[in-house]
Chain A
Amino acid sequence: MTPTLAQLLETLRKTNASAEAAFSYLTQTHHVDPGLARSLAEPFSTGVDHSPPMTVNMPALEQFCPGSQVVLEMVRPRLLLIENFVSPEFCDTFAAAARDNFRNEGSGPYTRLYAGSHIKKAIRQMRFRAAKILDRDPNETEDTAVSGYSPGQKYSLHADYLKEDDPAQKAMLEASRHNQRVATFLVYLGEPAAGGRTYMANVGLAVAPRRGSALLFCYPELNLKSATLHAGTDVLAGTKLITPITFRERALYCREDAAYINPSATEDDL
């Protein structure tokens, strides 16, 4: 049986292949398209840990997200699209709150949902659930908020890792003892009637913001080679509600912090 690309890359990782050797193996032994092979082989020369940092724990996915499905999985960038990460009823919580409680926060291209207590609990539940299905500590996720995009609003092209040459982001890095971001988990809570796609620029992939879905992408390399440049395209009609859950390399909160989540808790306890 023909091995999958994932199997080929796993073989290469085990042998610590160089980029050149990886390219040769992919193209000559397995007849992978040279353009694709070049792209896949490139990380093997950098010395970084290019193994996928996060994989879905399928039993946990079934337990926490009944009816969900990983509908798309990419090797480079490491990307997963999960349908039904949260239920329509869960999303309705935010839609109802969004009718009255959005307010401008000044600089952003979006509005933030006022975090009443039930919204705060729902956000903690999403952080907990995202961590559980990825076998991570919930405290590796940053505390977050729900953002709303109305017609005409968009988020320009950017990468999510914290950059040393940006004073605000450098301060965030130093405050956390250089606990860098490693992945983004976008949860789509409200689906606009048109527009508002997440556009992964390096691979030309546009993901529709379907209510209840979640998009994970990882950036083990803290540069543009991680291929995770992305944008939120213009919302054309309706409102997009989204929660970006950002993972750090290690736990960000301890028991004394308000954002701390007990990893042994259940969702209802949060």
Chain B
Amino acid sequence: MKFDYDSAVARWAWPHLQNGISADRLVNVLSDDCGYSGPIARRVISAIEAPEHNNLDLVFPSEPAKPSWSPGDTNRSVIANADCALVFASLDPHLELVAGVLTAAECDALREFTLVARPQEPGALASAAPMQERKSTDPGFAPLSDPVRRRISHTFNWPLAAVGPLQLWAQPEAIESRTSLPAPVSRAVLWLCLDVVDAASTLEVLNLGMLVRPRPGSGLLVGAEPTEVRIIPKGLRAMASVSFDALAKP
């Protein structure tokens, strides 16, 4: 993508103008301290100086560009589940809430698998712990996981080899520390809601002061760049996650 210098300057200047720094001062900083052409700096600053009357598209592009490395928008043509659709997207931090990633039947099966403890299995869920990661050693896991991973690969236009294993979480209240993704290995993580939610069931996105209440089967895609995202799940009994890795990037 061609770097748009005017837009970058406008985005830099915009908060300073809002905070009362004069346009002349900003032009001087650009031309004297940054080596930016004086007439061009003047033109850009003038364009946003009176934003109610000028072209704010320079500061805020009307259609946000998607980073080239990002998993793509939902690809409705290749999935059987026609209800799969983008609900909202945020560019920075990079978030996408996608409805209908899992079918209701898949949700039920994965939730049951997550919540029902199987004592014979190493790593089985312990009720005392606030969060437990479900181990994938159970022979019943692969038939549940494989089709879901394939569909996620199609839905988000990301190669299957780079879609990490499906991880299951019970009572995922203390998951925040795990969302510091080790970029560039993990490009994004998709958090899948398996539980019926109510007003008290949320994913809190701290960076944006945002509460998300995903329906069962919805996925919140969280990018590792450009800004790290901190998310706290609350009031959800069961979630699943997969990572989108960069190692097999297309």
Contact = CB atoms under 8 A, between A and B. Distances in A.
Interface of A: 2, 4-6, 32-33, 36, 39-40, 58, 69-76, 81, 83, 154, 156-157, 159, 163, 165, 197, 199, 201-208, 210, 224-225, 229, 231, 233-234
B199 to A, nearest CB: 6
Given A4-B204, A201-B56, A204-B92, A69 B62 contact: no
B247 interface: no
Contacts of B234: 4
A36 B57 contact: no
Interface string B16-44: 00100000000000000000000000000
Contacts of B215: 69, 71, 83
Interface string B65-100: 000000000000000000001111111100001010
A5 B209 contact: yes
A199 B64 contact: yes
A231 B62 contact: yes
B213 A203 contact: no
B64 A202 contact: no
A202 B209 contact: no
Interface of B: 18, 51-52, 56-57, 59-60, 62-64, 85-92, 97, 99, 197, 199, 204, 206-215, 218, 230, 232, 234
Nearest to A78: B209
A159 B89 CA distance: 20
B107 to A, nearest CB: 15
A36 B89 CA distance: 19
Given A71-B214, A72-B97, A225 B206 contact: no
A20 B90 CA distance: 28
B57 A206 contact: no
Contacts of A2: 232
A224 B214 CA distance: 30
